[in-house]
Every structure is written in C-alpha cells, then in structure tokens.
Amino acid sequence: MLNHQSPIPLYHQLADLLTTRIRTGEYAVGDRIPSEHQLVAVYGIGRPTVRQAIDVLVRRRMLVRRRGSGTYVAAADHEVDLFSLAGTTSAFQRQGLTVDTRVRKKMQVIAVAGDSDNPFDGARAFFLSRRSCVEGSPVLLEDLYLHPELFSGIDQIALEGRSIAAIVAERYFMRPTHGRQTFRIAYLQDARARDLGVSTATPILAVKRYLNFPQADSAIYAELFCRTDQFVFSQTIGGLADES
C-alpha cells in the first residue's frame, strides 16, 4: 500500500508499485492495467495523482495508452535511458531487463587526488566501483563518489545488486534536483577492459555525471564506461518531472 506519511510523493510511490508488478510479471506485456477509477478506489488517492503516476510510466515506455480501450503494459525495447537522474540500475530494470550488478571495489572512504574533473579532488569521499551485466553480458562499469557527510553510514549498507539512487531516496530521503553530464569516447586498459569484456582497442562511451542535491552540489559524482554494441543508450532531455 501507499505510505501517506512518506516524503516520497504518492504518485511516485504508485508508479514504483506498478513498476514492481510489471517486473514480477503480475502485469505481463500486453495486459491492461486497472483503470484510473479502480486505482483511485483501491489506493484511496485522487484521480490526478493516479494520472500522474501513469504518465510517468508512459514516459518511461513501460505503459502505453490506447484511446477508448485503456492502458496496457508495453513491450520492452532495446533503448535504455541510462543517463536519466533516476540512476543506472533503475534504467535497466524499468525495461524489464535482468541486470546483475556486482561490486568491484567495496564502498569505503578514500582521499581523492590528481583529478581536476572530480568535484572531490583534494578531499575525501565514499568510493564504490561496480560492474553491471545484462542478460549475462557485461555492459557497464561505474566508479561512484559520494559526499562523506551527507551519506554517512552508506558503507554499512548491503549494496550488491541494489540501486544507489533508490538507497539514497529511501534511506536518506534525498533526490537530485538536477545534474550535468559530459560524454567522450575512451579506450580502457588492463583490468577495466577485461571486466567489460572488450579489448584495449575497443571504443567505449565514457560519461562523467555530476548530481546536485538541495543539500550540496555534486554530492554524487560518477564515471561510467559503457559498451554500445548491445544497447542504444539514450538521454531524456529535461529535469526530474518524470523521475521525482
């Protein structure tokens, strides 16, 4: 059920609940989900809230509206909005893909030095490195840096296979307000190339992501290395209207 006392908006809670039911197969591809009227009655919320939740999932392409018929579970495609502010693990899961995320270097506080692009350069930050495989194939490496005071204790949380964005929202009641990302082509060396299953001559999409929160700018910084031979990685233009 929905938690009316939670700081997470009700429409977002409902969108997450419907997403879970889609991922678990309770609502299969092609199924018609309950009508807005039925969802209002079941969850005791207003129709605008229900419509907002459905709008989120339509924009995520998990649901599709059919005029005069209802709203149905959409078939998954191979375009992944990896660069939305909702987080990388969530991006794959929203498409109904089996993602296996394993920690390469466990969360710990480190001293950051010698990287002028890193907002924590010359200071300390939580650091985590992980690899994500989709349907058994490696597709993504992530190096994440988190504000050590804002996310105090995150190193005590089991992170294997979990979404950092979801943990930040659920445990710290924080969501990014906006962010900035840069893109370039890179070539990996040694362990990183092996972990991603590519050669040192394979071009990789490299992304640097800066996430700003009300409490601090660039409170999360990430470096992502993406294989592009299996998925089209897209970016939704705009803010958090469909993610918060």
How is 111-133 classified by DSSP, letter by letter? E--S-TTSTTTTSEEEEEEEEEE
H/E stretch holding 53: helix 47-59
In terms of CATH architecture, what is 10-73?
Orthogonal Bundle (1.10)
For residue 240, what pLDDT is reported? 44
Q: What would you report as the CA-atom Rg of the chain, rounded to the nearest whole angstrom? A: 19
Q: How far apart are CA 115 and CA 112, in angstroms?
A: 8
Q: What is the pLDDT of residue 228?
A: 81
What is the per-residue pLDDT for 206? 95
HSE (CB half, 13 Å, CA atoms) of 214? 4
pLDDT of residue 239: 43
CA atoms of 3 and 115, how far apart (whole Å): 42
The full set of domain ranges for the chain reads 10-73, 79-233
Q: What is Dmax (Cα atoms) for the chain?
A: 59
> Is the entire prediction scored with pTM above 0.85?
no
pLDDT value of residue 103: 92
- Domain 79-233 classified CATH 3.50.50.60? no
Give the per-residue pLDDT at 242: 44
Q: How far is CA 142 from CA 88, 91, 216, in A?
A: 9, 14, 21
pLDDT of residue 232: 66
Local confidence pLDDT in tens for the 244 residues of the chain: 799 888 889 999 999 899 889 888 899 999 999 999 999 999 999 999 999 999 989 887 789 999 889 999 987 655 666 656 556 766 776 666 778 889 999 999 999 999 999 999 999 999 999 998 887 789 899 999 999 999 999 999 988 878 888 899 889 999 898 889 999 999 999 999 999 999 999 999 999 999 999 999 999 999 999 988 766 676 665 544 444 3
For position 77, what pLDDT does the model report? 57
**What SS3 state is found at 47?**
helix
